[in-house]
């Protein structure tokens, strides 16, 4: 069976749904619209009106594509319901009636734990959503649904559900389910599997408009990742490896229905733009479900000062002292960051300039509003030579905080709601297994060092990074056995701290994935309290891997040939 993906986030390419439906054969079309930040956005949307809280672009895509899907017999599964899957299901039915189409629409609910947040110990939050699994989707499809919309299910569940329904898998078919999780994890981020955000992007043909990926899933859980013929981008062992390393941790990747053993995955070339995933093993899921908790953290404001030419450090110290002295009420948090973007003897003013960022946060908007930004601007004629800022004074803006909670799976309702209004309760897993660390893998035989050159790590290694709440992961992989032998011994946590000084005082976990020739790092706390908190200029850590690849390190000359 062939499952295509048409969305990796809320705001992804609008035309992808039509492209996937018209570009080739599919049995199912899925879409992932949710992320930690998206849940906060939808929660604020719902707070304005209880009728909101879902991804509205899904409806506009369906307006031009629902008839095509029905004509081609393609069933659609998407988590675009966000915080209001029932509302989105009703909106899809209204749209179908408007278009004169007969559509069976079902939805999955139960993930919204906000009414019980206090009882469950989550405190005063704006949204609390448990990550549900695939069996509600299976029930909806088994009852004849053409369109299934969900709330906060795991990203891979929108792929696992159709696979399990199509092949009639049981809840104990862990290897098959884990295979579908692996395929789902590869395609759920859309064009990231076909060359988007790929370390060696210059090798990708026609990246102007990459096609979206699809998975050909077999009854045993193995799969082939590919894309429609004639579309841009590329599917290769490396593009699939990069996506497998995205936002994961160690050898065990927990989902509500199965724990995927990442160390069991085997990738092989299956022809042009075709990569086979097999050998996947699964274990019973953990007894708890992860809960996405979003709350309002307070108010924030910022000011960026441009420092040009000579004496950059002294200029930064002067304006810092002046501004902090001028603030009559000190904000709860005040952070300074000096970005040395300046170059000596620069031939343009921009390249001669550094950027000094000041960020303030406080529960009281008055403490980070005009009293802060006006105080900064009032220094314009009384501070360092060449004083200028990148924006005028402004009021503070609300910011969100993400935290992860956990709850026993038996405490979370999981309900399939069918087109006729009947409701099916989906029981939690009866067999569970606590997550435990995998015994450390034996390192490969060291590579004889020989002569080296000091060059960027990215000359031989790929990387992909992303956010995990307040933490970030950086997956690094090698493309040959010898490069892997060198990488596994060289890129230690101490070496990572040396290459990325921002991580020097943070807790770092290192995981080896030999089948993928990869080392994965999880860096705790580098993103503060989540993407909306904006602890650093790259708040989702999307560029962290590329920073690492750009750092210079001694590499054996034989590996550079």
H-only helix segments in 100-250:
135-142, 157-167, 174-187, 237-244
CA distance 474 to 466: 7
Domains along the sequence of the chain with CATH: 171-285 (no CATH), 295-401 (3.30.70), 452-560 (no CATH)
Residues whose CB is less than 8 angstroms from the CB of residue 388 and which lie 6 or more positions away in sequence, other chains included: 305, 306
* Model pTM above 0.75: yes
* Cβ atoms of residues 224 and 274 within 8 Å: yes
Which residue is associated with the tokens 């040395």?
A: 340
Phi, psi torsion values for 228, nearest 5 degrees: -65, 145
Segment holding 374, helix H or strand E: helix 370-377
Tokens of 108: 């999955």
Residue/partner pairs of 114-119 with CB below 8 Å, 24 or more apart: none
Residue 449 has pLDDT above 80, yes or no: no
Band of residue 37 on the pLDDT scale cut at 50, 70, 90: confident
Closest CA to 527 of 537, 516, 517, 536: 536
DSSP SS3 for 379: coil
Residue 321 has pLDDT above 90, yes or no: yes
Burial class of residue 355 in the structure, from the number of CB atoms within 10 Å of its CB (0-12 exposed, 13-18 middle, 19+ buried): middle
Lowest mean pLDDT among 33-42, 244-253, 318-327, 512-521: 33-42
pLDDT digits (tens, 9 = 90+) for 185-206: 999 999 999 999 999 999 999 9
Residue 247 has pLDDT above 90, yes or no: yes
Count other Cβ atoms within 10 Å, centred on residue 412.
23
pLDDT digits (tens, 9 = 90+) for 404-438: 999 999 999 999 999 999 999 999 999 999 999 89
Which residue is associated with the tokens 């990572």?
A: 496
CA distance 140 to 148: 7
Segment holding 555, helix H or strand E: strand 552-556
Band of residue 536 on the pLDDT scale cut at 50, 70, 90: confident
Count other Cβ atoms within 10 Å, centred on residue 61.
25
Which pLDDT belongs to residue 533? 87
DSSP 101: -
Q: Which string of DSSP letters, residue by residue, matches 122-155?
A: --S-SEEEE-B-SHHHHHHHHTT-SEEEESSB-T
Q: Nearest 5°: CA angle at 557, between 551 and 559?
A: 80
Which pLDDT belongs to residue 476? 98
Residues whose CB is less than 8 angstroms from the CB of residue 462 and which lie 6 or more positions away in sequence, other chains included: 198, 199, 200, 238, 241, 242, 476, 477, 478, 479, 549
CA distance 544 to 547: 5
CA distance 139 to 162: 10
Q: Which string of DSSP letters, residue by residue, matches 391-427?
A: S-----EEEEEEEEEEEEGGGS--EEE-TTS-EEE-P
Which pLDDT belongs to residue 388? 96
CA distance 58 to 79: 10
Count of alpha carbons within 13 Å of 31, Cβ hemisphere only?
Answer: 33
Burial class of residue 47 in the structure, from the number of CB atoms within 10 Å of its CB (0-12 exposed, 13-18 middle, 19+ buried): middle
pLDDT digits (tens, 9 = 90+) for 350-408: 999 999 999 999 999 999 999 999 999 999 999 999 999 998 888 999 999 999 999 99
CA distance 56 to 171: 33
């Amino acid at each position: 069976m062939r499952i295509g993906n048409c969305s990796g986030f809320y705001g992804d390419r609008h035309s992808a749904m039509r492209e996937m439906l018209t570009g080739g054969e599919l049995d199912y079309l899925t879409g992932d619209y949710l992320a930690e930040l998206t849940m906060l956005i939808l929660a604020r949307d719902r707070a304005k009106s209880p009728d909101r809280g879902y991804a509205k672009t899904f409806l506009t895509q369906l307006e031009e594509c629902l008839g095509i899907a029905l004509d081609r017999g393609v069933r659609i599964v998407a988590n675009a319901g966000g915080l209001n899957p029932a509302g989105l299901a009703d909106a899809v039915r209204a749209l179908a009636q408007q278009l004169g189409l007969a559509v069976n629409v079902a939805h999955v609910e139960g993930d919204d734990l906000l009414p019980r947040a206090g009882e469950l110990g989550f405190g005063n939050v704006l949204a609390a959503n448990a990550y549900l699994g695939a069996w509600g989707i299976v029930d909806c499809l088994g009852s004849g649904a053409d369109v299934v919309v969900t709330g906060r299910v795991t990203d891979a569940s929108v792929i696992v559900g159709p696979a399990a329904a199509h092949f009639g898998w049981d809840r104990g078919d862990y290897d098959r389910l884990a295979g579908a999780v692996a395929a789902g994890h590869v395609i759920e981020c859309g064009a990231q599997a076909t060359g988007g955000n790929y370390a060696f992007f210059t090798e990708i043909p026609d990246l102007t408009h990459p096609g979206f990926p699809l998975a050909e899933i077999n009854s045993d859980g193995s799969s082939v990742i590919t894309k429609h013929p004639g579309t841009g981008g590329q599917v290769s062992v490396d593009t699939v490896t990069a996506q497998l390393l995205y936002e994961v941790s160690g050898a065990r990747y927990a989902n509500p229905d199965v724990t995927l053993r990442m160390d069991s995955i085997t990738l092989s070339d299956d022809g042009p733009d075709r990569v086979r995933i097999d050998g996947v093993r699964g274990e019973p899921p953990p007894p708890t479900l992860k809960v996405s908790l979003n709350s309002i953290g307070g108010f924030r404001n910022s000011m960026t000062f441009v420092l040009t030419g000579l004496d950059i450090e002294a200029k930064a110290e002067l304006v810092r002292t002046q501004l902090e002295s001028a603030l009559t009420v000190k904000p709860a948090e005040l952070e300074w960051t000096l970005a040395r973007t300046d170059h000596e003897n620069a031939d343009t003013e921009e390249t001669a300039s550094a950027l000094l960022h000041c960020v303030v946060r406080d529960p009281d908007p008055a403490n980070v509003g005009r009293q802060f930004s006006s105080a900064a601007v009032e220094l314009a004629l009384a501070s360092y030579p060449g004083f200028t800022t990148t924006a005028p004074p402004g009021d503070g803006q609300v910011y969100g905080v993400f935290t992860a909670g956990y709850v026993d799976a038996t405490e979370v309702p999981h309900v399939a709601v069918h087109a006729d209004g009947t409701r099916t309760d989906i029981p939690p897993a009866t067999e569970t297994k606590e997550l435990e660390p995998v015994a450390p893998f034996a390192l490969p035989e060291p590579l004889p060092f020989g002569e080296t050159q000091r060059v960027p790590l990215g000359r031989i290694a790929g990387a992909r990074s992303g956010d995990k709440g307040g933490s970030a992961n950086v997956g690094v992989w090698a493309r040959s056995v010898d490069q892997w032998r060198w990488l596994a011994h060289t890129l230690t946590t101490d070496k990572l701290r040396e290459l990325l000084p921002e991580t020097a005082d943070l807790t770092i976990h290192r995981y080896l994935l030999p089948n993928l020739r990869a080392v994965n790092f999880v860096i705790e706390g580098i993103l503060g309290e989540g993407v909306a908190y904006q602890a650093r200029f790259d708040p989702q850590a999307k560029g962290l891997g590329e920073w690492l690849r750009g750092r210079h390190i001694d590499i054996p000359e034989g590996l550079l040939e």
